[in-house]
Chains A and B, each alone.
Chain A
Amino acid sequence: MNIIIVGCGKVGTTLAQQLRQENHDITIIDTDRDKLEAAVGALDVQGVHGNGTSYRVLNEAGLEQADLLIAVTGHDERNMLSCLVARKAAQCHVIARVRDPGYYEDIDFIKDELGLSMVINPEMAAATDMYRLLRIPSALDVDTFDKSHVNMLRFKLEEGSPLIGKNMIEINGMLNGRMLVCIREREGTIVIPYGNTELAAGDIISVIIPTNQLSSVLHQLKMRQRPIRSAMIAGGSSTAEYLSYMLLQSGVDVKIIDWKRARCEELADRLPNAEIVCGDCGDKQLLAEEGLQKTESFVCLTNIDEVNIMLALYAAHISKAKVLTKVSKIEFEEVLDTLSLGSVVHPKNITAETIIRYVRALGNAKGNSAETLYRLAEGKVEAMEFIVQPGSPITGKPIMNLHLKSNLLVCSINRGGKIIAPTGQDTIEVGDIVVIITTQRGIRDLSDIVRS
Chain B
Amino acid sequence: MISVRWLHWADLVLPPLVALAVALVAGDLLILSYGQAPGSVWRLLLEGTWGNSYGIGQVLYKATTLTCTGLAVALPMRAGLFNIGAESQLAAGAFATALVASLLPTATPLLLAAPLCIAGAMVGGGLVGAVPGVLRARYGAHEVIVTIMLNFVVLALLNWLVSTYWHVPETLHTPTITSGQMPRLSQLFPQFHGSAANWSWLPVALTAGLVQWALQRSQAGFALRAVGFQPLAAENAGILVGRVWRQALTWGGALAGLGGINFVLGYKGYYEDGLAGGAGFLGIAVALVGRNHPLGVVAAALLFATLSQGGLAIHALVPKQMVEVLQAVVILAMAMAVPEVRRLLRTALTPRRRAP
Whether A and B are associated in the same complex: the answer reads no
B residues neighboring A (CB under 8 Å): none
